[in-house]
Amino acid sequence: MLIKNVSVFTGKDFIKHGYVVVRGNNFDYVGGTEPEGNYDEIIDGNGRLLMPGFINAHTHIYSAFARGMALDYFNPSSFTELLEQLWWRLDRKLSLPEIELSAYIAAVESSESGVTSLIDHHSSPAEISGSLNTIARAVNDVGLRVDTCYEVSDRDGVKAAERGISENVSFFERRNEFKGAHFGLHAGFTLSDETLKKVSEASKGRIPIHVHVAEGPEDEESSLSRYGKRVVQRFYDYELLIPGSIFAHCIHVNDNELALIKERDVYVVVNAQSNINNGVGITFWPHFTERGVKVGIGNDGFGFNIANDIRFFILTPHHEKRDPKVSSTRDLLNTFFKSNAEIASRSFGINLGFIEPEYRADFIIVDYNSPTPINSENFSDHFFYGIIDNLKVIDVYVSGKPVVKHGKNITIDKEVLYSEARKIASSLWRKI
Ligand SMILES: [Zn+2]
C-alpha cells in the first residue's frame, strides 16, 4: 500500500510532502520522494497529516461504566476513602459480560481518538479468572492492541489475591503482539508483605509489574509506618523493580526512590487529569526527566481520549511552579512519543510508535490545516496547540489494516454496542 499526498510526522521528524509504503504489517518506506514500484492499493491522503497511532500508557478499561453513575453517598476525606466510596464499589460488582462490554466501549472510543494501543490495569474481585482474556478478546475484536493485568491486592482477602496472581501469570504466558501483559498490583498500601512475597515468587523476575505508586500521600505514609521503608524501596526489596515495569503517578516519591526507578529501567507514567480531579497533587515530572527517569503519559481511565491528558501533562508543571519554562511541548518527543512507544514495543514484542521501516504499521491520519508554517522544529508546538486542541482523527490503521475510516470505527456497530451498554449500565448501577 502506498499513501501519498500527506504530510508525515514520523514520531521524530516532519516531512511536508511525504510518501509512506506499507507492506504486510510493517512500514516499508517513508520519505519525501515517491518510491518506485507497484502497489495493490494507493491511498490519497488529501493533504492531511499521517502520524504514529497514539499509545495510552495507563488506563482502566472498567471505568467505562462509571460515566454518569449516581452514588447514594460520596463524601471522601482522603484518597483511600475516594477509592472505597467510588471505584471499589463499582469494580466489586463487575461480571464478565460487563467487563467485556466496557472493553468494547473503551476500544471503540480510543480508536476514534487515534489510540491504537491501550495499557490497561484491571480489577473485578467477583470475576478474576478469565477477566484479562475477556478484555483482550474484545479490544482485539475492535482492532486495537491491549496490554492488561489484574491489580492484585489484599482488600478482598487472601483467596482473591491468589486468584489475581494466577490470572496475571496465566495471561502473561499467552501474550502475543496484540495482547501484552504486566504483573498487576493495586498499590503498596493494599499489599501485605505476604502477598508481595507470593508475587515475587510467581513472577520469578520475568514479568514487569504495573502498579500505582504514591498516588495519594497515604501510600508513602502507610509504607513508612507499617514497614519502615518507602513504597519503591519496598517493591525493590521484593525484587519487583523488573525492567519495563510501569509505575503510575509517583506524585509523592523522593529522590532515593527515583534513583531506584532509573537504575531498574522502570517507567513512570503520569496521569495529570485524574490527579487533579482526585485532588491528590500532581507529578512534577520535569524533576524526573532531569534525573534520567523515563516518563510516559496515561489517562487513568479518565475517558478514552488521551489528547486531553497530553495537554494537562505539559500545563501542570507550569502551574505548580508558577513558571512557563519548566516544561515545553518539545518534552512530548521524549515522553509521549518515545517512552510510550518503548513501553508498548517491549510489551507487545514488536517495534511500535514510529513511522519507520521495520516498525508495525500502526498509524493515524488527522485533518489538520495549519494556518502557520510547520516543520520538524516546531511540530511539537503544532501538535500541542493545534492538532490536539481540536483533534480530528479521520483514519486509523493497526498492523496495516483499517480500524477507523472517515472518523468512525468500522469493525463494530457502535449504535448496537451503546444501546446494549446503556441497558447493562442501568442494571449495574442498581447493584452498587
Ligand atoms: Zn490508575
pLDDT in tens, the chain (432 residues): 999 999 999 999 999 999 999 999 999 999 999 999 999 999 999 999 999 999 999 999 999 998 888 888 888 988 888 888 888 888 888 999 999 999 999 999 999 999 999 999 999 999 999 999 999 999 999 999 999 999 999 999 999 999 999 999 999 999 999 999 999 999 999 999 999 999 999 999 999 999 999 999 999 999 999 999 999 999 999 999 999 999 999 999 999 999 999 999 999 999 999 999 999 999 999 999 999 999 999 999 999 999 999 999 999 999 999 999 999 999 999 999 999 999 999 999 999 999 999 999 999 999 999 999 999 999 999 999 999 999 999 999 999 999 999 999 999 999 999 999 999 998 888 888
Ligand 1 centre from 402 Cα, in Å? 29
CA dihedral 356, 359, 360, 363 (to 10 degrees): -30
**Residue 228 backbone dihedrals phi, psi, to 5 degrees:** 70, 20
pLDDT at 293: 98
Which set of grid coordinates corresponds to residue 234? Answer: 519496598
What HEC string does 68-85 produce?
Answer: CCCCCCCCCCCHHHHHHH
Query: How far apart are the CA of 330 and the centre of ligand 1, in A?
Result: 26
Question: Which residues are in the CB-under-5-Å shell of ion ligand 1?
Answer: 300
For the full predicted model, state whether its pTM sits above 0.85. yes
Q: Exposed, middle or buried, 24 (CB in 10 Å: 0-12/13-18/19+)?
A: exposed
Cell numbers of 274, please? 485524574
Number of H helices, E strands in the chain: 16, 18
Say what the pLDDT of residue 73 is. Answer: 81
With CA atoms as reference, report the closest residue to 68 among 430, 431, 432, 429: 429
Nearest by Cα to 389 from 326, 313, 311: 311
d(CA 26, CA 11): 16
Ligand 1 centre to CA of 147 (Å) is 14
Report CA(60)–ligand 1 centroid distance (Å).
6
DSSP conformation letters of 114-137: TEEEEEE-B--TTS-TTHHHHHHH
pLDDT score for 432: 84
C-alpha of residue 392 to centroid of ligand 1, in Å? 27
The predicted pLDDT at position 422 comes to 94
Compute, in angstroms, the gap from residue 59 CA to the centroid of ligand 1: 6
Q: Which grid coordinates are listed for 191?
A: 499489599
Ordered by where they begin, the domains of the chain are 2-53+355-409 (2.30.40.10), 54-348 (3.20.20.140)
Q: Ligand 1 centre and the CA of 268: distance in Å?
A: 12
Calculate how far, in angstroms, residue 276's C-alpha sits from the geometric centre of ligand 1: 13
The pLDDT, as a whole number, for residue 193 is 98
CA of 282 to the centre of ligand 1 (A): 14
Q: What are phi and psi of 19, to 5 degrees?
A: -130, 135
Ligand 1 centre distance from Cα of residue 275 (Å) = 10
